[in-house]
Amino acid sequence: MEPFNSYLNFNTGEILANCNIIVRHLSDMKGMYYDLKATQKIINEDDRVIYKVYNIDVPEKYGHLQHCTSIIYPGRVGDEFHMTKGHFHAQEDTAEIYLVLQGTGKLLMQKKDTEVKILDMQSGSISYIPPYWAHRTINTGNTPLIFFAVYPGEAGHNYGIIENKGFCKLIVERNGQIKVIDNPNY
């Protein structure tokens, strides 16, 4: 394979290169926000885009490095802030790095024994997600949360565990404050 450049727009998070662009509407995340009524209402109204991922096309193989930007648009479903689906890596012993370009948020991580860690995300923060931690990103601000991620080529994504049970914590707005609460459905 030949070396190559990609070009990132720091303001929008868009990447110009051979990219797969993933667009996640709320209807792609049914059952992931705890307020099912609010979810259905928004899906019926405009089924808004919650986030996009610009994923540079690199072989999903050991030795390569996957790299991409994620853009989570601001907003809430009920009182729960916009977020990604979240996942374990299919190859669980693989780590990841997130570098924030714009916006503010939280990085919610959880191990299989339900140990939880939440890190702040803001422009310039570099978060290290060690092997074995599931990870979800939450936009708690009023502007898009844009971050660049790098992870091993062979990592893959396992969404099933989170789709079935979610994370044990939720990030919500209560009286204008950002709060971490227990997930009532966990």
Is residue 70 involved in binding Zn ion (CB under 5 A)? Answer: no
Among 52, 68, 96, 162, indicate the residue that binds Zn ion (CB under 5 A).
96
80/96 with CB nearer Zn ion: 96
Question: In the bound complex, what is the minimum distance in angstroms from residue 177's beta carbon to ligand PAN?
Answer: 25
Question: In the bound complex, what is the minimum distance in angstroms from residue 159's beta carbon to Zn ion?
Answer: 10
Q: Is the dihedral of CA 80, 105, 15, 18 positive or negative?
A: negative
How far is it, in rounded angstroms, from Cα 123 to Cα 65? 23
How far is it, in rounded angstroms, from Cα 145 to Cα 76? 13
Is residue 109 involved in binding Zn ion (CB under 5 A)? Answer: no
> Which runs of E-coded beta strand occur in 90-144?
96-102, 104-110, 116-122, 126-129, 134-139
Question: In the bound complex, what is the minimum distance in angstroms from residue 86's beta carbon to ligand PAN?
Answer: 5
Pull the structure tokens for residue 154: 């062979």
Residues 121-160 that bind ligand PAN (CB under 6 A): 135, 137, 149, 151, 155, 157
Is residue 54 involved in binding ligand PAN (CB under 6 A)? Answer: no
Rounded to a whole number of angstroms, the distance between the first and last alpha carbons of the chain is: 45
Is residue 80 involved in binding Zn ion (CB under 5 A)? Answer: no
Is residue 106 involved in binding ligand PAN (CB under 6 A)? Answer: no
Cα torsion for 23, 24, 27, 32, to the nearest 10°? 170
Is residue 52 involved in binding ligand PAN (CB under 6 A)? Answer: no
**135-155 per-residue burial string, b: 16 or more CB within 10 A, e: under 16:** bbbbbbbeebbbbbbebbbbb
Question: In the bound complex, what is the minimum distance in angstroms from residue 13's beta carbon to ligand PAN?
Answer: 11
What are the residues binding Zn ion (CB under 5 A)?
Answer: 96
What are the residues binding ligand PAN (CB under 6 A)?
Answer: 53, 68, 70, 84-87, 96, 135, 137, 149, 151, 155, 157
